[in-house]
Chain A
Amino acid sequence: MKLIFALLLLAASAAHAAPRVFVTNEEGNDVSVIDTEQNKVIATIPVGKRPRGIGVAPDGKEIYVAISGDNAIAVIDPGTLKLVRSFNSGEDPETFAVHPNGNLYISNEENAKASVFNPKTGELVAEIKVGLEPEGVAISPDGSHAIVTSESTNMLHLIAIPSHKTVANILVGARPRAASFSRDGKTAYATSEISGEVKKVDVATGKIIGRAPLADDKAKPKDILPSRDGKRLFVAGGRANRVFVLDEASLAIQHEIPVGNRVWGLALNAAGTRLYTTDGASAQVSVIDTVANKVVATVPVGKMPWGIAIVE
């Protein structure tokens, strides 16, 4: 009886295990795993040379890491926390997005293209011509569109899936970095590093419908994520060393939350209550309470943390 009870308890606690945050350490060549209940690193997984982009399979059973130095995608099992395989991804993969069908849309920084890979087979499914120095990739929640930013040609390429035809090429501020979609897929958001601004795009027309400078010379913004209720946008402020919280409708800055140095990556938990940031130059992750709009914990991780993803 006691044994059954103990087993049930074990099963219950396993089922309610805290979400884990996975962080790529660009110079450490490894991935830090954070238990979000203790806000502590519980494992460090060596991957390959220069890990950057990170993403989670739709079923949560695999984690993908872009290893730009090895021209590969590494696959991690989130249960065993082991590297299980890797596959060739085309040259210099920097970031990628995971499509609801499981495919990875990867920006190949050194070439002017994005590649689509099936991560189960390692097969190249498609190549899409984009502008110079592609970086950010985002996919709409329904999988109907992708955005790829091309940094040197200052464009957002809006691409229809599955045809992979470019439906709009939108000129934005200098050096666009990251992009994301609203939950309903009707709006897209992008940050431009050199012009220090955020742009809002209407997906149906491919037109820019909003633009906000971040009012800070040093802000070289990178990741941008909508809140779960869609009413706010979180922007990683780069060397401004803070996270900007914007009103989604007006793009007005509502809060500025100081974090560590050179904040680039953002990840939001499913409930939308915790925002995790990679503070690259401070070798740490900041944990933000999105209701109180303040940092509630910082977690030291590896060298030059870059990408960040949550598995719940």
Chain B
Amino acid sequence: MTPTHFVCRWLKLLVTLATLGTATVQAELLVPIGYAGDPAASGWLGAQQGHREAQIQGDFLGQRYTLTPRLSEVSAIVAAVPPAALQALARAHPGVAVLNITVTDDAIRTACQPNLLHVIPSQKMLADARAQWQKAHPDSPAEAKAWHPAFEKYAASQLNKRYTEATGKPMDDVAWAGWAAVKMVSDLVAREQTADPAALLQALRLKLAFDGQKGSDLSFRDNGQLRQPLLLVDKGKLLGEAPVRGVAAVEDLDSLGLVPCAGQP
């Protein structure tokens, strides 16, 4: 064998091995998720918890999730930014789902930007939950929340325990919303077998059936708001759930804060 032949053979072997190596890596679906917001706040901790759990599923099913501050070329964006910045973010990334986990303003819900989805409940939803509770329990003051660190039903206690063990902190509304945003994306990635942002945005709007460990099928309304049960709390103590039994049907999640898009009846 001439030296050239020898070198050629080795090169061929190396190329084959390299291709095999790449082929194995390519079998995994890469799903980059962007995060806009303060990394010192609880939304980031919640999103990280969601990321850890998404990857547990990903390890079984062949997806590789990343969660970073990079917002370009991502499958979805989780946003913990103020109202004006939130709307600008959605406009800057058309066709990519922007999942709001902090802003509760009602005005943004009626604006109905096509790629802006709200995981955190709106002011009106919280007010309706409070009003339902007050009707059923006139002598029991309460405020409404999306989550509570002592909530135990529907596997909530499992989530609260996992989060607190991982972070050393109790899970608050925004942390739950950050967790839920990442988990709902990963659930749809696994079901739809795609990391394409446009496909995921459509799936989120139309196909989501996610329980958020709150025991109901959570889904997005036309105005982009996640319909969900809420919790009634007084001085840190968990009192009950909304929709409030006796005032509304427990499954009627749209009895809480349903608002139309501006320009629609």
Q: Are B217 and A194 in contact (CB under 8 A)?
A: yes
Give chain A interface residues in 169-213, CB to chain B under 8 Å.
Answer: 169, 171, 173-175, 194-195
Known: A171-B190, A194-B217. A151 touches B155 (CB 8 A): yes
Q: Which residue of chain A is the closest to B165 with respect to CB atoms?
A: A110
Interface residues on chain B, number (Cβ under 8 Å): 21
A-side contacts of B161, CB under 8 Å = 110
Q: Are B187 and A152 in contact (CB under 8 A)?
A: no
Q: Is A255 an interface residue (CB 8 A)?
A: no
Interface of B is mostly: helix
Q: Are A132 and B53 in contact (CB under 8 A)?
A: yes
Q: Is A109 an interface residue (CB 8 A)?
A: yes
Q: Which of A110, A131, A151, A173 contacts B56 (CB 8 A)?
A: A131
How many whole Å from B51's CB to the nearest CB in chain A? 13
Q: Are B155 and A153 in contact (CB under 8 A)?
A: no
How many whole Å from B155's CB to the nearest CB in chain A? 6
Q: Are A153 and B60 in contact (CB under 8 A)?
A: yes
Q: Are B217 and A155 in contact (CB under 8 A)?
A: no
Q: Please name the 8 residue pairs, one residue from A and one from B, whose CB atoms are nearest each other, closest first.
A: A169-B60, A153-B57, A194-B211, A171-B190, A174-B211, A133-B158, A174-B209, A195-B209
How many whole Å from B262's CB to the nearest CB in chain A? 30
A-side contacts of B190, CB under 8 Å = 154, 171
Q: Is A217 an interface residue (CB 8 A)?
A: yes
Q: Which of B53, B60, B162, B216 contacts A155 (CB 8 A)?
A: B60
* Per-residue contact bits, chain A 158-177, to B (CB 8 Å; 1 contact, 0 not): 00000000100101011100
Q: Are A155 and B57 in contact (CB under 8 A)?
A: yes
B-side residues, CB < 8 A to A, are 53, 56-57, 60-61, 155, 158-159, 161-162, 187, 190-191, 209-211, 213, 215-217, 251
How many whole Å from B194's CB to the nearest CB in chain A? 14
How many whole Å from B228's CB to the nearest CB in chain A? 13
Q: Which residue of chain A is the closest to B155 with respect to CB atoms?
A: A133
Q: What are some 8 contacts across the A-B interface (CB < 8 A)? A: A131-B56, A131-B57, A132-B53, A132-B56, A132-B57, A151-B155, A155-B60, A157-B60
A-side contacts of B61, CB under 8 Å = 155, 169, 171
Q: Complex Cα distance A217/B253, Å?
A: 13
How many whole Å from A26's CB to the nearest CB in chain B? 14
Q: Complex Cα distance A75/B191, Å?
A: 41
Q: Complex Cα distance A175/B213, Å?
A: 9
How many whole Å from B156's CB to the nearest CB in chain A? 11
Q: Are B251 and A152 in contact (CB under 8 A)?
A: no
A-side contacts of B187, CB under 8 Å = 154, 174
Q: Which of B56, B60, B158, B209 contacts A194 (CB 8 A)?
A: B209
How many whole Å from A267's CB to the nearest CB in chain B? 25
A-side contacts of B53, CB under 8 Å = 132, 152-153
Known: A132-B53, A157-B60, A194-B217. A171 touches B251 (CB 8 A): no
B-side contacts of A153, CB under 8 Å = 53, 56-57, 60
Q: Is A112 an interface residue (CB 8 A)?
A: yes
Q: Are A110 and B158 in contact (CB under 8 A)?
A: yes
Q: Complex Cα distance A171/B53, Å?
A: 15
Additional A-B contact list (9), CB under 8 Å, known A152-B53, A152-B158, A153-B53: A132-B53, A132-B158, A132-B162, A154-B57, A155-B61, A166-B60, A171-B191, A195-B209, A217-B251
Q: Complex Cα distance A131/B209, Å?
A: 19
B-side contacts of A151, CB under 8 Å = 155
B-side contacts of A132, CB under 8 Å = 53, 56-57, 158, 162
Q: Are B60 and A152 in contact (CB under 8 A)?
A: no
Q: Complex Cα distance A174/B209, Å?
A: 7
Q: Complex Cα distance A57/B63, Å?
A: 40
Q: Complex Cα distance A173/B159, Å?
A: 19
B-side contacts of A152, CB under 8 Å = 53, 155, 158-159, 213
How many whole Å from B145's CB to the nearest CB in chain A? 21
Q: Are A131 and B210 in contact (CB under 8 A)?
A: no
Q: Is A218 an interface residue (CB 8 A)?
A: yes
B-side contacts of A166, CB under 8 Å = 60
Most-contacted residue by chain A among B53, B56, B162, B190 (CB, 10 A): B56
B-side contacts of A175, CB under 8 Å = 155, 211
Q: Complex Cα distance A173/B213, Å?
A: 14
Q: Complex Cα distance A268/B215, Å?
A: 29
A-side contacts of B60, CB under 8 Å = 131, 153, 155, 157, 166, 169
How many whole Å from B179's CB to the nearest CB in chain A? 11
How many whole Å from A175's CB to the nearest CB in chain B? 6
Q: Which residue of chain B is the closest to A166 with respect to CB atoms?
A: B60
How many whole Å from A222's CB to the nearest CB in chain B? 14
